[in-house]
Amino acid sequence: MTDHYRRPPSTKRIKAVIAALGYEIVWHDDEAAGYTYFDERLISLRRGMTNNEVRSTLAHEAMHAMFGPFPADQEDEEERLVEWLASRWLIPLSVLRTVAKRRLEPPQALTYARVDPAALQARVRRAMADDQRADWTQNLQQLADLPA
């Protein structure tokens, strides 16, 4: 995949993928940003989130719908996989490189990438771990520990 030139998915596009998986989107009011109910084929989002939170949570739950559920004793692994895949889907390399090149501070980086802090942090940490010798990833250090 030529990640460099891939466009980041819009919320509309992510919703279309969720629909293609046979899942319906519903809403809830408790604290968790999102849930995936495999048996009912429902993805639930917390009411009142920002557009970037909705976009990030939809991508996260779409990855659960696609790859889950893992066995009960492997839920941490499922969570790590889903967070990584969602962050990579949401933030193509071209977007991450621009964030690094412009040395964007957290608020600007989140606005530019149109994601929540968890997604940006997952993307940045993995890019830094994968590509430690590349100069450009050094510029991402300030984004590796974002307050949730």
Binding residues for Zn ion, rule: CB under 5 A, are: 79
How many Å apart are CA 146 and CA 124, to the nearest integer? 10
In the complex, the smallest distance separating the C-beta of residue 71 from Zn ion, rounded to whole angstroms, is 15
In the complex, the smallest distance separating the C-beta of residue 51 from Zn ion, rounded to whole angstroms, is 20
Rounded to the nearest 10 degrees, the angle between the axes of helix 51-67 and helix 75-90 is 130
- Assign 42 to helix, strand or coil: strand
Whichever of 79 and 131 has its CB closer to Zn ion, that residue is: 79
Whichever of 76 and 130 has its CB closer to Zn ion, that residue is: 76
In the complex, the smallest distance separating the C-beta of residue 131 from Zn ion, rounded to whole angstroms, is 25
- Assign 6 to helix, strand or coil: coil
Whichever of 78 and 131 has its CB closer to Zn ion, that residue is: 78
